[in-house]
A and B are shown apart, each in its own frame.
Chain A
Amino acid sequence: MAKQNNKVTEALEELGQKIVKQIYKEKNPEIEVPIRALSNVEFDKKTRTVKLGGKTSARHFFHIAHSKKFMQTIEVASISYNLLKEDKHASLRDVFYMAKRTIPSTKVNIVDDQTESDSVIEDLELITDQSREQLNVNANKNGSVAGEVIIEDKGDTIDWSKLGSGGWSIPSNVENIKFKKVSAKYIIYMEKAAVWERLHEDKFWAKQKCIIVSSQGQTTRGIRRLLQRLTTEHSIPIYVLTDLDPWGFYIYSVLKYGSINLAHISEKMAIPNVKFLGITVNDIEKYGLQKHLIKFKDTDLSRLKQIANYDWFKNNKEWQKQLEALKKLGAKAEIQALSSRGISFISDTYLPNKIKEKEFLD
């Protein structure tokens, strides 16, 4: 067992001991879990990150509403404990299957859905103050990167510019990667894998001397950590390219300030110098995308209102203007709408223009 693991197994043992002590005292056993909700996060103006507050809730075993969650928490803790003892790593999906079984002589499964085990793992991070990766649980590989960078990973040397059409896929844990040579002026992180493929095919990263990174949808921890390391260790600016809609804005927000759900690891993950590149409301007119809008649904509008109320957007005049304009527009635009101007319009015109003119939102 690696040395580092000792600390983690001890934390899990401590959790077990605490509960058993209560049981031996014939008390209804409880686990103290910090609340992961908007009501318990605050925006730290100093570090400019989303931080978890001090509110906790007690999860009791003998309580109808808590009992199952309690059982799941202990179950997943023991799964992680075994992983650590054996020095093996499991994916979130693996953990789900390790926990998914029917309790004898009932029709009750310990977990029915992966969201349940995922959520319990996040709880465990908080309870033990150890990150998911330290608990030997990894997320699936998600996202690709390409650019003129050479790294070393587990003894292999990898050149991000020589990986064919797929690029390098970003692992869940990037802590042990060494950057051997980095020559890039900036990084573009984009929400859509399809857009990444477009730019990669056009060799945009070679022409522009940049690094292109994408995932599908919300950014994974591996990507966030990778971006953070690149920008801090090599002082490269990061620009974010998303659809023009509240969900896109939140992707930017998570990268920059941390997420509400994972507020406890914001410090390790947040990248305060990230800038928003587009699509902005102004782009619609400037690039003639009026005919390629998708009308808002009710959920879009309510999400927009929520986001406008987050502290970090609320006190930002430029963003308030942007959000107000989007509300007025009442419609969203996908990045791919730019293809209406030509398939390589994005790599030939849109992005170079944006970067040249420094049209960013901060």
Chain B
Amino acid sequence: MPAEKTVTAEDLAKGQREISISEFFVKNKHLLGFDNPRKSLLTTIKEAVDNAIDACEEARIVPEVKVEIKPVSEDRFIVIVEDNGPGIVKEQIPRIFAKLLYGSKFHRLRCSRGQQGIGISASCMYGQLTTGKPAKITSKTNPKKQAHYFELIIDTKTNEPKIVQENDVDWEEKKTGTRVEIELTAKYQKGNQSVDQYLKQTAIVNPHLSLIYINPEGEKAEFPRATNELPKEPKEIKPHPHGIELGILIKMLHDTEAKTLQGFLQNDFCRISPKVAKEVCEKSSLDCGARPERIAIQEAEILYKSLNSTKIMSPPTDCVTPIGEELIIKGLKKEVDAEFYTAVSRPPSVYRGNPFIVETGLAYGGSLPSDELVKLYRFANRVPLLYQLSACATTKSVVSTVWRNYGLSQSKGALPAGPVVILIHVASVWVPFTSESKEAIAHYPEILKELKLALQEVGRKLATYIRKNVRAKEQRDRANLFEKYIPEVAASLSLLTNEKKEKISENLNKILKKSLKDFMPKEEAKEHGKTE
């Protein structure tokens, strides 16, 4: 036997330790949208702005958000995002901003911008890791009281907030609201996938939002609101049995307050009636009265299969709030200079037990460049998606729609070309993304189908407009041409007859006005060329 050292379990144990949250973060920051300095800036602003608007809407306050990027040095910036939301109670502030995976949105099924509760604390942590500076939070919950001010860092070993400084401050210009200030290493660059682009698109799909933006160069841009009406408050729904994973079912069985299996099914899911609950129990050979926490894993698996094979009514769809055709058009008009606007809001539909709505908007002509590919603005729950264009279900749908039928040119397998902005919004209680960084919508057949129908509908509207427009333009051109010919003919006739040029012109113009319509071609056949 060669003298090879045997590794014991104890030896291995020496190398086994808890992974610190910061290590995890550094290794996985690309999953969270911090791949590079430029994207980190965008992600930080995005998380803060999404939270701000969500908070305002939940409190039914018409949102007013101010974003400022202050340059510190060439690769260092301070991001400040201020809202007029309800503020955050003092006790919660440290955990919301300085504890990863803490939030209100992960556990519920309801349309909101953020979903995982990872965003803003990850941004704070990114700032802390790259600059060593704490995140500075100011929040005011009562107009009559002072605001709370915190300087926070995350204990990267324990994932617990550490308060560097805490005191009450005056914040007179706001009744209530929250102000987040994060210093971070980043890169500011304009163009596609820029902060500027993100904010512009956010303004389009949130016409109730008033946004002020000051970029690192000190330029101030204002995006005024187009409506004072807040979107309908989204309803929270219980999960639909067809939309959950086995693991979640097991966790739900464990956590439920229901005393019996039947009760659990009826109360913790939507669309399960007593009759359906009994049917599912029978199918799984489980007792309706069994205690949910006692259900073993194998039994849970059977239950999961029975749930999926049972016909259950689709989930209610009133929990999804569309932007609406009217407001999409208003939003586009506000930010895109075009001559024709249209929008389509599809009726709600369901994928894997999750209700969703697809909406499309389209702007055509005006100052949009006609020799480029169309611009595609993608949104999930009103949040612009700027990365992974080609991986997204929306892009696939636009490419596979035959735009030539609607008056645009298109090469095979490419976006169409023309003076067009296409807006696509997918709203759902749970938008399926292809990855954690939430940049591309997954290709569910139900979603693809709705996308296609919505795009075809705006396509048809566009085609009608183009046709009408082209016809009108042709008529104008013709009238124009006659007008241009008149002085020539009048001059020649005047020479031949000694009549006044002006008088001939005047009369010809009179005839032109009188019956332009009558002169449109109908007897082309009569005049014909010659042989030879």
Among residues of A, the one whose C-beta sits closest to the C-beta of B516 is A62
Cβ–Cβ contact B529 & A61, under 8 A:
no
Of B491, B507, B529, chain A has the most CB atoms within 10 Å of the CB of B507
With A74-B492, A82-B495 known to touch, is A260 a contact of B511 (CB < 8 Å)? no
Please, what's the 1-or-0 string for A13-43, where 1 marks a CB less than 8 Å from any CB in chain B? 1011101100110111100000111100000
List chain A residues, Cβ under 8 A from B507.
23-24, 26
Q: Which listed segment binds B: A65-73, A203-211, A293-301, A330-338?
A: A65-73
CB pair A57–B489 under 8 Å, yes or no, is no
Q: Are A103 and B527 in contact (CB under 8 A)?
A: no
Q: Which parts of A226-260 form the interface with B (CB within 8 Å)?
A: 259-260
B485 at interface by CB-CB < 8 Å: yes
Residue in B491, B497, B519, B530 whose CB lies within 8 Å of A20: B497
Q: Roughly how many angstroms separate A105 CA and B526 CA in the complex, as a whole number?
A: 31
Kindly identify which residue among B515, B519, B530 contacts A261, using a CB–CB cutoff of 8 Å. Answer: B530
Residue in contact with B492 in the complex, picked from A37, A66, A78, CB distance below 8 Å: A78
- Inter-chain contacts of A63 with B (CB < 8 A): 519, 521, 523
Digitize A41-75: 1 where CB-to-B-CB distance is under 8 Å, 0 elsewhere.
00000000000000001111111111110110011
Is A12 at the interface (CB under 8 A from chain B)? yes
Residues of B within 8 A of A77 (CB): 492, 496
A110, B508: Cβ atoms under 8 Å? no
B349 → chain A closest CB, angstroms: 49
**A82 contact set on B, CB distance < 8 A:** 495
Q: How far is the CB of A115 from chain B (nearest CB, A)?
A: 11
Measured between C-beta atoms, what is the minimum distance from A279 to chain B in Å? 23
Q: Of B484, B508, B529, which contacts A103 at CB under 8 A?
A: B484
Beta-carbon contact of A58 and B489 below 8 Å: no
Q: Determine which of A61, A68, A105 lies in contact with B508 in the assembled complex, contact meaning CB atoms within 8 Å.
A: A61
> Is the beta-carbon distance between B489 and A70 smaller than 8 angstroms?
yes
* Cross-chain contact of B519 among A64, A104, A108, A259 (Cβ < 8 A): A64
456-507 of chain B: CB within 8 A of chain A: 478, 481-482, 484-485, 487-489, 491-493, 495-497, 499, 504, 507
Known: A15-B496, A23-B504, A23-B511. Is A37-B485 also a contact (CB below 8 A)? no
CB–CB B511/A103 < 8 A:
no
In whole angstroms, what is the CA distance A104 to B512 when docked? 19
For residue A81, CB closer than 8 A to chain B, the reply is yes
Q: Once bound together, how far apart are the Cα atoms of A38 and B493, in whole Å?
A: 32
Given contacts A28-B511, A61-B482, A77-B496, 18 further A-B contacts (CB under 8 A): A15-B496, A27-B511, A28-B515, A28-B518, A35-B528, A37-B528, A37-B531, A38-B531, A57-B526, A71-B485, A71-B488, A71-B489, A74-B496, A78-B496, A103-B484, A106-B484, A259-B532, A261-B531
- B487 contact set on A, CB distance < 8 A: 104
Chain B nearest Cβ from A259, distance in angstroms = 7
Q: Does B524 contact A (CB under 8 A)?
A: yes
A299 vs B487: C-alpha distance in the bound complex, in angstroms?
43
The 3 closest A-B pairs by CB, nearest first: A16-B496, A78-B492, A62-B519
Q: Is B59 an interface residue (CB 8 A)?
A: no
Residue B169 CB within 8 A of the other chain = no
Q: Are A12 and B511 in contact (CB-based, < 8 A)? A: no
A51 to B410, CA, bound (A): 55
Contacts of A260 in B (CB 8 A): 530-532
Return A24 CB to nearest CB of chain B, in Å: 6
> In the complex the two chains form, what is the Cα distance from A110 to B488 in whole Å?
9
The chain B residue with its CB closest to the CB of A123 is B530
A19 to chain B, nearest CB (A): 6
- A residues within 8 A CB of B512? 62
B496 cross-chain contacts in A, Cβ below 8 A: 12-13, 15-17, 74, 77-78, 81
User: Is the pair B508, A57 in contact by a Cβ cutoff of 8 Å?
Assistant: no
Q: How far is the CB of B11 from chain A (nearest CB, A)?
A: 87
| A19: B residues at CB distance < 8 A | 493
- Given A28-B511, A77-B492, A81-B496, does the pair A65, B524 have CB atoms closer than 8 Å? yes
User: Chain A nearest CB: distance from B408 CB in Å?
Assistant: 26
Known: A67-B482, A105-B484. A37 touches B529 (CB 8 A): yes
Q: Is the CB of A103 within 8 A of B520?
A: no
In the assembled complex, 24 residue pairs joining A and B whose CB atoms fall closer than 8 Å, in A order, are: A13-B496, A16-B495, A20-B499, A28-B511, A28-B515, A38-B531, A57-B528, A58-B526, A61-B482, A61-B489, A62-B512, A63-B519, A64-B478, A64-B521, A67-B482, A71-B485, A71-B488, A74-B493, A75-B488, A103-B485, A103-B488, A106-B481, A260-B530, A261-B531
Complex Cα gap A106–B481 (Å): 8
B144 within 8 A of A: no
- In the complex, the answer to whether A64 meets B520 with C-beta atoms within 8 Å is yes
Q: How far is the CA of A167 from the CA of B518 in the complex (A)?
A: 58
B510 at the interface (CB under 8 A from A): yes
B491 smallest CB distance to A (angstroms): 8
Kindly identify, within residues 194 to 235 of chain B, every residue whose CB is under 8 Å from any CB belonging to chain A: none
Closest to A40 in B: B530
Is B514 interfacial (CB-CB < 8 Å)?
Answer: yes
Cα-based distance from A68 to B531 in the complex (angstroms):
20
B483 to chain A, nearest CB (A): 10
Query: Is A13 in contact with B497, judged by CB distance below 8 angstroms?
Result: yes
Q: How far is the CB of A176 from chain B (nearest CB, A)?
A: 28
Chain A contacts for B528, CB-based, 8 A: 35, 37, 57
**B residues in contact with A65, CB < 8 Å:** 521, 524, 527
Give Cα A108 to B514, complex, Å. Answer: 25
Docked Cα-Cα span, A261 to B492, in Å, equals 26
A17 and B494 alpha carbons, distance in the complex (Å): 9
Is B489's CB under 8 angstroms from A20's CB? no
Nearest B residue (CB) for A82: B495
- For residue B331, give the distance in angstroms from its CB to the closest CB of chain A: 39
In the complex, chain A residues whose CB is within 8 Å of the CB of B514 = 26
Q: How far is the CA of A23 from the CA of B285 in the complex (A)?
A: 97
